[in-house]
Chains A and B, each alone.
Chain A
């Protein structure tokens, strides 16, 4: 764990404050008249997402947050926690639903994801930009209507509901952009 002084802080720096990892999302150097250098930061708690504003002085010191990303394969959910396996060490870990967050909408068995660890504990999960998921329920579409742009709801194998074009059928697999949560195209399996 490295030590930073206030003068070394930048937008994007990750610090440990009161036991939590924080990301500096906004940063401004400031100096009143003949006064001391001050560093105004907007910090985002990387676990809870809450933001706070803090102003630091030149002499202030910080520990950088001990963060690392590991590739993990999703195994199963026991209803409360998510179980994943580190793809290089084969070690299994548990993640709370809170830490997995919205990513659970597109998390299917055996998917390899990136898990963010803070002090060795999983605090966040990043999906691949695109995932392929099976439609398990959707009202029958209207044949031939491919150009109108009309959509209908469809339930994915994860239980999450998305909008798909009318021609997409139950039992088919679709590609989804996990950053927008939107349907991209149909996938021939």
Chain B
């Protein structure tokens, strides 16, 4: 028997109320930190070429944005110092308890900052939001009481792999082995009951992150986990236009092979990098954050509508 849609939507009211409060709190937090809220295009001709992110095609050579990252960095390069955005992003083929092809992303950027500053932002934002949202009995997710007041857990990627997967990934691990053990062994162990910062990714997993000065085998990239769920990915941004161009070209070549689509180089972004100073930026999955704060079982509960 098919359930009446109204019954399903009504059952999600509590999650949607918490979602609404969380969105307001995020805005209040960044306003108090002196950030400018911006909006950037959802339609783009040149999405950031990332090997494992598949853009969805819109009409006439345009794609739906996979993240606001490139446009936000173009703003930074033009002299904007602290900016944030809450927007939709689109990624093809992603559907699960924690994934929708269309999802809500929070991104923020600080010029003159590093990934360590963003880690502090994460702590402040999480504590601020949880204190306002948590009922007296505490926050519960999948039967676990979340601790948002305690001292956060910190691991380097190499430490976490040695501890939970039993091997050292080094600077350039085998991609399949790394991804499999990350999903099966490492991620499910992180962030109980306090949130966990997993930092200093192997150089080969740098994405758009800067290589660490004190340790050329690691990238200044971190992810935030809570209750085994990946919530955010941030880094000290790579600002070298030549290095960035080379990484894009290699990703574009791989995507051509895998997807059969020749993506254009994001030229406007690459040009803006010539003016971009040191900065750091991060993306946080708002839907998952709301799941943790409301105890929702799946992402469907916190967005009301399932993807069509």
Q: Say yes or no: is A40 at the interface (Cβ < 8 Å to chain B).
A: yes
Q: Say yes or no: is A51 at the interface (Cβ < 8 Å to chain B).
A: no
Chain B, Cβ-Cβ closest to A35? B179
Contact A33–B182 (Cβ < 8 Å) = yes
Contact A7–B233 (Cβ < 8 Å) = no
Contact A36–B175 (Cβ < 8 Å) = yes
Q: Say yes or no: is A38 at the interface (Cβ < 8 Å to chain B).
A: yes
User: Closest CB of chain B to A49's CB: distance in Å?
Assistant: 24
Q: Which of A34, A36, A37 has the most CB of B within 10 A?
A: A34
Contact B97–A28 (Cβ < 8 Å) = yes
Contact B94–A31 (Cβ < 8 Å) = yes
| Contact status of A33 and B230, CB under 8 A, knowing A40-B183, A40-B184 | yes
Within the complex, which residue of B51, B180, B207, B223 is in contact with A38, where a contact is CB–CB below 8 Å? B180
Within the complex, which residue of A7, A55, A58 is in contact with B183, where a contact is CB–CB below 8 Å? A55
User: Closest CB of chain A to B256's CB: distance in Å?
Assistant: 15
- Complex Cα–Cα for A25 and B152 (A): 36
Q: Which of A7, A37, A40 has the most CB of B within 10 A?
A: A37
Chain B, Cβ-Cβ closest to A7? B93
Chain B, Cβ-Cβ closest to A57? B176
Interface string of B225-252 (1 = CB under 8 A from A): 0000010010000000000000000000
Chain A, Cβ-Cβ closest to B54? A37
User: Closest CB of chain A to B258's CB: distance in Å?
Assistant: 8
For B223, list chain A residues within 8 Å (CB). Answer: 33
Contact B179–A36 (Cβ < 8 Å) = yes
User: Closest CB of chain B to A11's CB: distance in Å?
Assistant: 11
- Complex Cα–Cα for A34 and B32 (A): 31
Q: Say yes or no: is B52 at the interface (Cβ < 8 Å to chain A).
A: yes
Give how many A residues have a beta carbon under 8 Å from the other chain's beta carbons. Answer: 16
- Complex Cα–Cα for A35 and B52 (A): 6
Contact B184–A33 (Cβ < 8 Å) = no
Contact B94–A35 (Cβ < 8 Å) = no
Contact A36–B52 (Cβ < 8 Å) = yes
For A57, list chain B residues within 8 Å (CB). Answer: 176, 179
For B51, list chain A residues within 8 Å (CB). Answer: 36
Within 174-203 of B, Cβ neighbours of A (below 8 Å) are at 175-176, 178-180, 182-184, 187, 201
Q: Say yes or no: is A29 at the interface (Cβ < 8 Å to chain B).
A: yes
Interface string of B146-184 (1 = CB under 8 A from A): 000000000000000000000000000001101110111
- Chain A interfacial positions (CB closer than 8 Å to B): 7, 28-38, 40, 55, 57-58
**Apart from A29-B96, A31-B183, what 12 extra A-B contacts exist at CB < 8 Å?**
A7-B93, A29-B98, A29-B99, A30-B96, A32-B182, A33-B182, A33-B201, A33-B233, A37-B52, A40-B184, A55-B180, A57-B179
A-B contact pairs, 25 of them (CB 8 A): A29-B94, A29-B96, A29-B99, A30-B96, A31-B52, A31-B94, A31-B99, A31-B183, A32-B179, A32-B182, A32-B183, A33-B182, A33-B201, A33-B205, A34-B50, A34-B52, A34-B53, A34-B207, A35-B175, A35-B178, A36-B52, A38-B179, A38-B180, A40-B184, A55-B183
